[in-house]
Amino acid sequence: MLIYLGDLAYFHSWDNIQPIPLNVGYIAAYLKKTLPDVEIEIFKEPKKLMDRISERSPDILGLSHYEWNSNLNLAILRHTKQKDSNVITVMGGPSFQPYDNAWIKEFFHKRSNLDAYVTNEGEWSFTKLVELLMENEMRLTNIPLDNLPASIHFQNSETKNVVNNPKNVVKRLDLKDHPSPYLTGILDDFLKDPHLAPVMETNRGCPYDCTFCNWGNATKSTINQFSIDTIKNEMEYIASNTRNTKGFFYVGDANFGILKRDEEIANVINSCSKKFDFPKHIYIYFAKNANETIVNIAATLRSVTMMNLSRQTMNKDVLDFIKRDNISTEMFDDLQQKCYEKGIETFCELIYALPGETYESFIQGVIETCRTGVDIALFPHTMLLGAEASTQIYRNKYGLKSAFRVIPRYINDDDELPVLEYEEVVIETDCFTRDDFWDVRVFYFIFTILRSEIFIELAHSLSRNGSNHADFANRIVEDKENWSPKVKKLFEDFRQSAKDEFIQESEKKLEFTLEDIKKARIKSKALNPLYSSRIASDTKLISELKEYFLGGISRFYSNDKKVNMSELELSVNFGFDKLVNYENIDSGKNISYNYDITSWLDNPEKLSIEKFSINEPKKYIFKLDDDILKDLKRLETYNNDLSDRIYRLRANEMGPTGDRIFCYKRIELSKDMSETENISKREAIRHHVEIAARKT
């Protein structure tokens, strides 16, 4: 028997953070241990799988299924059935509503090329499905219902009814003796691929029931652990064999640090980082409610990761509605201080349009969190199939209304496979209007600009003067009557674009033409980098924005005698000195300052900048990386519009690269005019922080 397994993804030329297909690797390892004579091939790239199917059809095709590859899978299923209608096609994963029979029937009805779906942990259930097919002439309809596990749904090809036996509940896997897809060599070819990042699980299960998350669907609440010896051996094997060019690594646990042994695992990872120079960047989902144990783990790994101080919301009522329980504000502040003392970079995530959250409470929560000094990433409330929030009962209870938008990252680059993905976003609740949603989007755009490396000094000065960049962003949103013409157009155009990117469910497609994809590539863009590109390509807008910031500081803070107005104004100038104006690129420019900016930013007492005045001015050189200028020149052949070229550079060519597209590197020069490596801790944290913080 020949089986193809795929964990398919959208690949781009800049992409080197796609995870190795560990999920189907586990299934392959378990299947080979149980049925050693079965022949298995694993795929990550859609085109390679399509070509292989055209060359030789498998008996069974199994694909991992998530929101981010759902339509991609359908395209592969369609291709498979066109080549050989006898292939048994199977999908599996958390993006499924296993207890909603009407939904399941509609799901299969829209996917005529799908034969079966596997829920929960896939290893045992998929293996059992293979055994049942082998015992029943490779016909799903021949399988006795009494033998069918509850984790398997299939569509009767003749009656179109969905078949399932909910009585045959499947037990959790014992992971202690689970065969390793790394140590068995199953994933060796993927370790050699420089575009793929290794991922490792140390346990499965999540004790939390967050309504917006579907992580615990397959494994429920109990945490099951892989053998510690297997984990140690896997880590050494991965570190010594991976060829990932950037040193990316994922820890695939829901709550790393929740177990005492995780400290030991962190030491193993740290040892490998030193011995093999891998990993260099780690994506970790730390345990939801941080404690000192997790701080110690984060300290061990501080050179390769950031620590997520999980929040989601600061509203206590909302926490009840989403079944979360944050640590106290006092403990949060204490942990944040300990992280700062240990040199640990921290960030947290806040979600807007959660049930019970108002516009005012959300903005206040961002401002309150910002006061702690932690970096913040804001996310919309995205509907995930399988999560409680996606059920109709929950939607009705809290008045959740949603819409869909194309995910720019998941528009296929390959014209031979025209396909894209959507995400479902909550845009209205019973206490959060659609206008509130658009206002939050504008707020977040401004907030993103102010939290960037460009405005580190302004953010520091605002914090030192009793405010913060979230408060400043909110004041800007409320200051519409003072927006200058170009600033007004920037924000109003952004708001309109935020509206225009959404469609209703009836407008979604499951099949696409090349023309559909070409239109999507033009229309569907990530708005924050798109409008940042418009700023960076418009000299007059940059000038107006600078004058508006200076005027805003005067309007917002001049009546407070405790505020150091000259310092705030100076910090605005520091920021606009770093902002790249692509209409007039001045890479290599020299500017002298009468202040030791690095020492001011790093001073733990947060003294005024006047305390860091120096007699002999410090000279700085402001530079763009050479690859940016080179690639921008190359893009001239694609498009005459400067802002579009900058956006393409930021989003399509280089991918998530922090602030370096829009911000000059400010490099201190020594007396002999040679470049130094003197950089503040705050600047070091902001360098490529988007890569370090990106987890979803």
Is residue 557 within 8 Å of residue 586, measured between CB atoms? no
Look at residue 216 and tell me whether its pLDDT is greater than 80. no
Classified as helix, coil or strand, 673 is coil
Question: In angstroms, what CA-CA distances link 111 with 8, 71, 543?
Answer: 17, 10, 53
> Residue 539 above 50 pLDDT?
yes
Structure tokens, 484: 């200058």
CA distances from 2 to 35, 38, 46 (A): 12, 6, 18
pLDDT at position 12: 84
State the alpha helices, DSSP H only, in 192-350. Answer: 228-241, 262-276, 292-300, 316-321, 329-341
Is a pLDDT exceeding 70 seen at residue 238? yes
Domain boundaries in the chain? 2-119+122-163
Query: Percent of the chain at pLDDT above 90?
Result: 80
Q: Which residues contact 671 (CB under 8 A, 6 or more apart)?
A: none
Which amino acid does the sequence have at 54?
A: S
Question: What would the mean pLDDT of 671-694 be, rounded to a whole number?
Answer: 58
**What mean pLDDT comes out for the span 308-327?**
87
**Confidence check: pLDDT of 630 > 80:** yes
Among residues 572, 566, 591, which one has the least CA distance to residue 665? Answer: 591
Place of tokens 């600061």: 314
Q: What is the C-alpha to C-alpha distance for residues 443 and 653, in angstroms, rounded to an integer? A: 27
46-72: per-residue pLDDT in tens? Answer: 999 999 999 999 999 999 999 999 999
The contacts of residue 193 (CB under 8 Å, 6+ apart) are 20, 44, 243
Residues 175 and 482: their CA atoms lie apart, in Å, by 61
Q: How many CB atoms lie within 10 A of CB 297?
A: 27
pLDDT tens figures, 383-425: 999 999 999 999 999 999 999 999 999 999 999 999 999 999 9
| Contact present, 93 and 64 (Cβ < 8 Å) | yes
Residue 8 pLDDT > 90, yes or no?
yes
* pLDDT reported for residue 656: 59
Q: How far is it, in rounded angstroms, from Cα 484 to Cα 538? A: 14
Q: Could you tell me the strand order of the sheet in which 162-163 lies?
A: 39-43, 2-6, 60-64, 88-92, 116-118, 152-155, 162-163
Q: What pLDDT shows up at residue 125?
A: 97
Whether the pLDDT of residue 636 is over 90: the answer is no
**Helix and strand element counts for the chain (H, E):** 26, 24
Least reliable range by pLDDT among 9-18, 69-78, 551-560, 614-623 = 9-18
Give me the helices (H) in 371-468, please.
Answer: 392-398, 434-450, 456-464
N-terminal to C-terminal alpha carbon distance within the chain: 36
Q: Which two tokens stand for residue 611?
A: 């305390």
Q: How far is CA 481 from the centre of its chain?
A: 35
Query: Which residues are bridge partners to 411 per DSSP?
Result: 420
What stretches of 108-247 adopt beta strand conformation (E)?
116-118, 152-155, 162-163, 196-197, 199-200, 203-204, 224-225
Residues 6+ apart with CB under 8 A from 421: 10, 67, 68, 69, 70, 71, 72, 406, 407, 410, 411
Residue 510's contacts (CB-CB under 8 Å, 6 or more residues apart) are 71, 74, 110, 111
> pLDDT class for 20, splitting at 50, 70, 90?
very high
Picking from 43-47, 76-80, 598-602, which range would have the lowest pLDDT averaged per residue? 598-602
pLDDT tens for each residue of 447-492:
999 999 999 999 999 999 999 999 999 999 999 999 999 999 999 9
Checking DSSP bridges between strand 60-64 and strand 196-197, what pairing results, if any? unpaired
Residue 688: what pLDDT? 39
What token pair was written down for 412? Answer: 């296929």
Q: How far apart are CA 256 and CA 283, in angstroms?
A: 11
What is the per-residue pLDDT for 682? 59
Residue 346 pLDDT: 85
Helix, strand, or coil (residue 288): coil
Predicted local distance difference test score (pLDDT) of residue 180? 98
**DSSP-based three-state secondary structure for 160:** coil
Distance CA 561, CA 573 (A): 22
Tens of pLDDT, residues 245-290 = 889 999 999 999 999 999 999 999 999 999 999 999 999 989 877 7
Alpha-carbon gap, residue 225 to 262, rounded angstroms:
11
The torsion angles phi and psi of 563, rounded to 5 degrees, stand at -85, 135
Count the neighbouring beta carbons within 10 Å of the beta carbon of residue 316.
11
- The answer, yes or no, to whether residue 694 has pLDDT greater than 50, is no
Cα gap 42→25, rounded to integer Å: 8
Tell me: pLDDT of 547 over 60: yes
Has residue 689 got a pLDDT over 80? no
Q: How far apart are CA 471 and CA 477, in angstroms?
A: 10
What is the pLDDT averaged over residues 340-366? 93
CATH number of 2-119+122-163, picked from 3.40.50.280, 3.40.1160.10, 3.40.50.1220, 1.20.1270.360: 3.40.50.280
Residues of the chain above pLDDT 70, percent: 95
Nearest CA to 130 out of 212, 7, 31 is that of 31
Mean pLDDT of 666-679: 79
Angle between helices 228-241 and 262-276 (to 10 degrees): 20
Lateral strand order in the sheet of 248-256: 199-200, 248-256, 281-286
Q: Measured between alpha carbons, how far is residue 435 from residues 61, 94, 144, 269 in Å?
A: 45, 32, 54, 46
pLDDT in tens, 583-598: 999 999 999 999 999 9
Six token digits for residue 649:
């550079």
The per-residue pLDDT for 326 is 73
Q: What is the mean pLDDT of residues 185-190?
A: 98
| Residue, of 149 and 649, whose pLDDT is higher | 149
Question: pLDDT tens-digit profile of 89-143?
Answer: 999 999 999 989 999 999 999 999 999 999 999 999 999 999 999 999 999 999 9
**Mean pLDDT of all residues belonging to the chain:** 92
Look at the block and give the residue holding tokens 């749904």. Answer: 153
- Stated pTM of the model: 0.93
Of residues 192, 175, 341, 245, the one with CA closest to residue 16: 245
Q: SS3 for 405? A: strand
